[in-house]
């Protein structure tokens, strides 16, 4: 036992439900956790903050048994007893349940089936569907969700699915609920609803640990905060004692104060080079429903153009349909590049015409998680390092290494798998992949989703660099302060229609929201 362990072991924490003491976890070539220590009080909401790659998710995987006992050093004391978890089942057995950032629901199964999957209600060895359904109704009521328990998961929104994950956790007699980025994919209304449910569960005596990059939510809901940086515990903050705000949390996370959330940037905007006229696209499964309704906009060289809209407004549908018609059924519309009409009917033709698209879901649409960093970075522009369909291996390594350095991708080497990287570094790999194609127009769909403030600042700098090189940037974001802080001009989208256009200098969150809900037009 180290001196730190002995000191903590000698302390009394009468209100503690959890102590993690000197947790150290190594992966090949990297130490992910280095003596992390934290205490969680019974009945509180405890937040864990840190930059991408700081070790937050690894720590929770140690706690929940994903990384079993014997693969790490240190001690876990839960509910007064020292624990050794050999898997998720053993941690769930004592009441620790984790909800990962990527929801573990099966789309084709019903709400009831998903809630009790692996934890079925049986009678004489046979699933009791009547009792299962009744229990599901009670659990749904507990999380404030009014849906038919026979509804298929695929027919529900992301916010509803998140609440079903919580109901699923509650079905396991949970004492400590761990939520990893629970609101990263939710709009503002669904996020507030989820936080409200967590407050209600807290009043019922449930203890929660919440990992989040949304510092405003942390400051609003957390009772205490543990800050981790580079795999080490930096400090623990008691929110009730006061003097805890977003700037205070950021200083602990990045090791310095961020004087501004957005880099200073003086745009050098040139002539219009990309224009869309009357773009109309039909929903792929619902004939007659327009996801893009006669949309028109333009982008100038060196300009960062934002698209604001509520979830489901049609921003992503517009971007994907422009990028090689990869979404929906094209009905009408024209794309002009440098004043000439072009036909972009496939992804290769989009790349050939200088377009790139960074999707909002990096793990599903942006990356092959089975591949390594090197192959991923060059994958969209393989022709740039090939001669007569033969890849120049030296050029491939040099290109990947150049982008790893230029974009500050934290990876042991370009040969490591992208699945081993933190979310922020995965996002940088996706950006590098498309920057390697040397696009004239970069379409970035939620480029900072699930990214910590330090990594966000770096990505904002990369966006500014693209603009300074004379490229055009289209940026879709659900965070209005981000659009106002980064963009030169902003369009608003509502139900597939572009409802307004404002310069960032004249726009406010209130004026954008009016256009996003179409109240200004009404």
**Domain 260-354+439-522 sits in which CATH superfamily?**
P-loop containing nucleotide triphosphate hydrolases (3.40.50.300)
pLDDT of residue 242 exceeding 80, the answer is no
* Range of weakest confidence among 172-186, 305-319, 432-446: 172-186
How far is the C-alpha of 448 from the C-alpha of 188, rounded, in Å? 16
180 DSSP β-pair partners? 211
pLDDT of residue 254 exceeding 80, the answer is no
Q: What is the pLDDT of residue 209?
A: 95
If you ran DSSP here, which 8-state letter would residue 110 be given?
A: B
Higher pLDDT, 47 or 311: 47
238 DSSP β-pair partners? 224
Q: What is the pLDDT of residue 259?
A: 62
* Range of weakest confidence among 3-17, 48-62, 207-221, 316-330: 3-17
Q: From 3.40.50.970, 3.40.640.10, 3.40.50.300, 3.40.1360.10, which CATH number describes the 1-95+176-194+205-257 domain?
A: 3.40.50.300
pLDDT of residue 164 exceeding 80, the answer is yes
pLDDT of residue 2 exceeding 50, the answer is no
pLDDT of residue 28 exceeding 80, the answer is no
pLDDT tier at 16, thresholds 50, 70, 90 = very high
If you ran DSSP here, which 8-state letter would residue 372 be given?
A: B
The predicted model gives 118-146 an average pLDDT of 90
The predicted model gives 159-186 an average pLDDT of 86
b/e 161-190 (16+ beta carbons within 10 angstroms → b):
bbbbbbbbbbbbebbbbbbbbbbbbbbeeb
- Average predicted confidence (pLDDT) for the chain: 88
Longest Cα–Cα distance in the chain: 75
The predicted model gives 78-89 an average pLDDT of 92
Domain limits, CATH 3.40.50.300, in the chain:
1-95+176-194+205-257, 260-354+439-522
DSSP-based three-state secondary structure for 509: helix
pLDDT tier at 457, thresholds 50, 70, 90 = confident
State residue 490 phi and psi, 5-degree precision.
Answer: -135, 130
How far is the C-alpha of 380 from the C-alpha of 370, rounded, in Å? 16
DSSP-based three-state secondary structure for 259: coil
b/e 61-89 (16+ beta carbons within 10 angstroms → b):
bbbbbbbbeeebebbbbbeeeebebeebe
Report pLDDT digits (tens) over 275-304: 999 999 998 888 888 999 999 999 999 999
- For the record, the structure tokens of 41 come out as 């009080």
> DSSP alpha helices (H): ranges in 304-345?
315-322
pLDDT of residue 81 exceeding 70, the answer is yes
pLDDT tier at 256, thresholds 50, 70, 90 = low
pLDDT of residue 9 exceeding 50, the answer is no
Higher pLDDT, 194 or 352: 352
CB 291 within 8 A of CB 496: yes
């Amino acid at each position: 036992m180290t001196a730190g362990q002995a000191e903590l072991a000698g302390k009394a924490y009468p209100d503690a439900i959890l102590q993690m003491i000197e947790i150290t976890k190594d992966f090949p070539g990297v130490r992910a956790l280095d003596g992390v220590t934290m205490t969680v009080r019974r009945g509180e909401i405890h937040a864990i903050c840190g930059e991408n790659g700081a070790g937050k998710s690894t720590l929770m995987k140690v706690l929940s048994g994903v990384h079993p006992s014997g693969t790490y050093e240190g001690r876990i004391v839960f509910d007064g007893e020292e624990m050794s978890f050999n898997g998720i089942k053993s941690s769930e057995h004592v009441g620790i349940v984790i909800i990962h950032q990527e929801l573990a629901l099966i789309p084709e199964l019903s709400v009831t089936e998903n809630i009790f999957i692996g934890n079925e209600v049986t009678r004489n060895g046979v699933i009791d569907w009547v009792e299962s359904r009744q229990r599901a109704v009670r659990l749904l009521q507990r999380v404030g969700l009014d849906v038919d328990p026979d509804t298929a998961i695929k027919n529900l929104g992301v916010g509803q699915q998140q609440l079903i994950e919580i109901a699923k956790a509650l079905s396991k007699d949970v004492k400590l609920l761990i939520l990893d980025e629970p609101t990263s994919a939710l709009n503002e209304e669904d996020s507030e609803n989820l936080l409200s449910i967590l407050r209600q569960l807290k009043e019922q005596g449930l203890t929660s640990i919440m990992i989040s990059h949304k510092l405003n939510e942390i400051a609003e809901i957390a009772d205490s905060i543990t800050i981790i940086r580079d795999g080490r515990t930096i400090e623990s903050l008691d929110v009730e004692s006061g003097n805890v705000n977003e700037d205070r949390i950021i200083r602990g996370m990045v090791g310095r104060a961020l004087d501004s959330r957005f880099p200073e940037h003086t745009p050098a905007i040139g002539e219009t080079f990309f224009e869309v006229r009357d773009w109309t696209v039909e929903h792929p499964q619902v004939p007659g429903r327009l996801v893009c309704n006669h949309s028109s906009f333009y982008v100038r060289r060196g300009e960062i153009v934002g698209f604001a809209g509520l979830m489901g407004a049609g921003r992503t549908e517009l971007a994907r349909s422009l990028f090689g018609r990869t979404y929906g059924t094209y009905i009408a519309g024209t794309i002009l590049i440098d004043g000439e009409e072009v036909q972009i009917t496939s992804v290769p033709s989009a790349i050939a015409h200088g377009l790139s698209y960074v999707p909002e879901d990096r793990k599903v649409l942006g990356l092959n998680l089975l591949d390594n960093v090197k192959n991923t970075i060059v994958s969209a522009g393989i022709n740039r390092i090939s001669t007569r369909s033969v890849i120049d291996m030296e050029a491939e390594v040099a290109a990947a290494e150049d982008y790893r350095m230029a974009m500050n991708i934290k990876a042991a080497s370009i040969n490591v798998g992208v699945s081993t990287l933190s979310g922020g570094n995965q996002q940088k790999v996706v950006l590098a992949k498309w920057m390697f194609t040397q696009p004239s127009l970069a379409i970035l769909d939620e480029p900072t989703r699930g990214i910590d403030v330090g990594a966000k600042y770096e990505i904002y700098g990369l966006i500014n660099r693209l603009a300074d090189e004379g490229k055009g940037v289209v940026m879709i974001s659900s965070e209005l302060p981000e659009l106002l802080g980064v963009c030169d001009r902003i369009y608003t989208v509502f139900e597939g229609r572009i409802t307004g256009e404002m310069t960032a200098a004249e726009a406010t969150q209130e004026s954008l929201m009016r256009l996003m809900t179409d109240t200004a037009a009404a």
